[in-house]
Structure 1
């Protein structure tokens, strides 16, 4: 899932601030703003066959104030990077390197990570499915009750 950066980041912030335990599971694809949403939880899973696309923020349509728009996009980019780094084990440097990598996507810059790769770079906590995610959620809930 990808989509609007502002809306996606607001959803991610809302999930991250929940008082109840949260667990995410990436099935199929967690692309674009789906990355921050996936890492917003207390613990994150990704299916072995799922992928995540990491790329810079983009804009389509007509732009009137280019310098102002560039500054806005740069600030949004920094907010996304900061959020992901603060909610995962990936470093700023490595996340930015994945985001701006060239040669991997046909007509774009960025990186596509498989399930295992997303765990190996520290973006997602564990490879697993719905059973593992539900078990982890139960564990987190019982830990909070104690």
Structure 2
């Protein structure tokens, strides 16, 4: 009896798709999952939001020059029905973070964000930019005024610029969550919550109580919310 020594064949297209998915996770911290409800693209926003300058090689970063075109592609893709954002970020470049948040907020595709670990500083606008936001009970969000770093010319114009940038952040957060602008500004300027700075640290349940985040919940809760959005979008009549 001759032993069959024919090598096992590779999975063809499925194998190629698996390799592409693995590479996507390595390159962008992203993955696409095909479910009976629709195709869900999962994108992580982690570490430091890298902007106009490059962060040290030892820092985990989310690069805005990668994320912006990716979001535009997801919005136009027929293969993606909804996007799940997983956040664990320390903040970073304010304008880069705000640019990502504005693009997320402008998407017509169903979107859900989940704050895991932390979504600090400019991570707050990123957390509220999706159509529905979730936070696990242990999640933390640091809210503070826009800081100046490096060499700064102490001129009135400089302070005016930072004040106007801070107003943009406050307006964005208030416009995409249930918290009022005055309440968010008060959290920014609180003096008794942080040891060496003004500002606040709020945790998952408190963030929901303040109407900064929509719901307490984790992965399964976020996915169920995303599936409901996808179903509602499919039922919506196509405009002529």
Using structure 2 for the length normalisation, give the TM-score: 0.60
Which structure is richer in relative contact order (CA contacts within 8 A, separation 6 or more)?
A: 1
Alpha-carbon separation, structure 2, partners of 1:20 and 1:55: 31
Partner deviation per Cα, 1:46-90 (whole Å, 9 max, x = no partner): 011111111110011111252111011011001000000000000
Relative to its length, the structure with more strand (as a share) is: 2
Alpha-carbon separation, structure 2, partners of 1:114 and 1:63: 33
Relative to its length, the structure with more helix (as a share) is: 1
**How many positions carry a matched residue from both structures?**
146
Aligned to 1:55: 144
Aligned to 1:133: 222
Aligned to 2:100: 11
Alpha-carbon separation, structure 2, partners of 1:61 and 1:17: 33
CA RMSD of aligned residues (A): 0.7
Alpha-carbon separation, structure 2, partners of 1:54 and 1:64: 25
Ranges in structure 2 where 5+ consecutive residues have no aligned partner:
1-88, 236-240
Ranges in structure 1 where 5+ consecutive residues have no aligned partner:
none
Segments ≥4 residues shifted beyond 4 Å: none
Alpha-carbon separation, structure 1, partners of 2:192 and 2:221: 35
